Structure 1
């Protein structure tokens, strides 16, 4: 017979786990409050252990951070190795997490929509490195003053301190596997 679950112990550890996750993801309490609808005061008390975690607090936090409730409370995993990424659409692109959020890079499948041939690729700069592999279609990579057409089956890696941006090179959408650091994830997936 398995040992009983120490529910009180798991709930007592939520605050420090939540604070670590929030700071690792580079969120302020105010940003997390805006995304979850939970007051800054309640989040602060939850992190300090002055407020007991409850399902109505943990669900919106887990959704924002795209982690399971098990990960927030430190429960043992079920042993299921599958990643159940929820599609996120930003600026017409669809992102699906292919890895669990860990300390290093995160993998995403990204669908780049078809765009007009004269489309100007918006470039951004952030710390870190990006890597992507073109699964299907063709990708236009603007890297500083240069543009490259990356074909299906090709991969690229670059320093993200160089201004960069991507779009489908047409005529249809393109699909890529994208590995990026936390800084890259923040820039590409959050409204900065």
Structure 2
């Protein structure tokens, strides 16, 4: 005798299926079953690229830290000497030299100035046999570090003591966690967005087209306080 199989009424089956669908949707969990091989492959490639970039950034900071330490020792400066010249703590400087801390752009600018160079000089560059008056975009040094700031050094003239950069600040981005100071003068022209420059504890809000100029030995910090990414042209000039 053939066993009798009990079948639920169609209405009940539909109700159960709908309940299961609602439960699945409510859980919001993605088991990956709807991902195509192409999507998975692209995600893997993106992860590999991110890991490679992270490794490259780590290696860069190790080299920069070693270069800073070598410059400091050649000038017979202690970490406390550099701290007094910049406003950057001794512990942060120590971690920077050991390559275990991702410093902000503002910190690197201040430390470089304390050592008598520009931030550009802390990074490796290709030697040009025949210097051209034109610096191509792909030849410019781009530094993207902590605090949501990217600095592209468009031109560096060691003889004139001038560094021309394009600074970009993410929402909430800043030159550093605290104000720093160093030798020289700075000139900034805001291209887009909004920037607040904290200068000697006083706040100056810039709108597109506004320019600010000040002596770099005054404690200063630059922050994006607007509602969009901010872009500015910045010039650092040695007074010597």
**Map 1:124-135 → 2, pairs under 5 A:** 124-135=180-191
* 1:176 counterpart residue number: 232
Aligned-residue offset at 1:182 = 6.0
Count of aligned positions? 125
* 2:110 counterpart residue number: none
Q: TM-score, normalised by structure 2?
A: 0.44
The superposition leaves residues 23-76 of structure 1 with CA deviations (integer Å, 9 ceiling, x where unpaired) of xx98735889x79xxxxxxxxxxxxxxxxxxxxxxxxxx995453322xxxx22
SS in 2 for 1:28: helix
* 2:207 counterpart residue number: 151
- The yes-or-no answer on 1:110 pairing with 2:164 is no
Q: Which is higher, the Rg of structure 1 or of structure 2?
A: 2
Runs of 4+ in 1 over 4 A off after TM superposition: 29-32
Structure with a larger share of its residues in helix: 2
Q: How far apart, CA to CA, are the structure 1 residues paired with 2:221 and 2:172?
A: 14
Compared CA separation, residues 100 and 126, structure 1 to 2 (3 A): closer
Higher relative contact order (CA 8 A, sep 6+): 1
Q: How far apart, CA to CA, are the structure 2 residues paired with 1:177 and 1:30?
A: 29
* 2:219 counterpart residue number: 163
Q: TM-score, normalised by structure 1?
A: 0.54
Unaligned runs of 5+ in 1: 1-24, 36-61, 184-192
Unaligned runs of 5+ in 2: 1-66, 75-96, 99-119
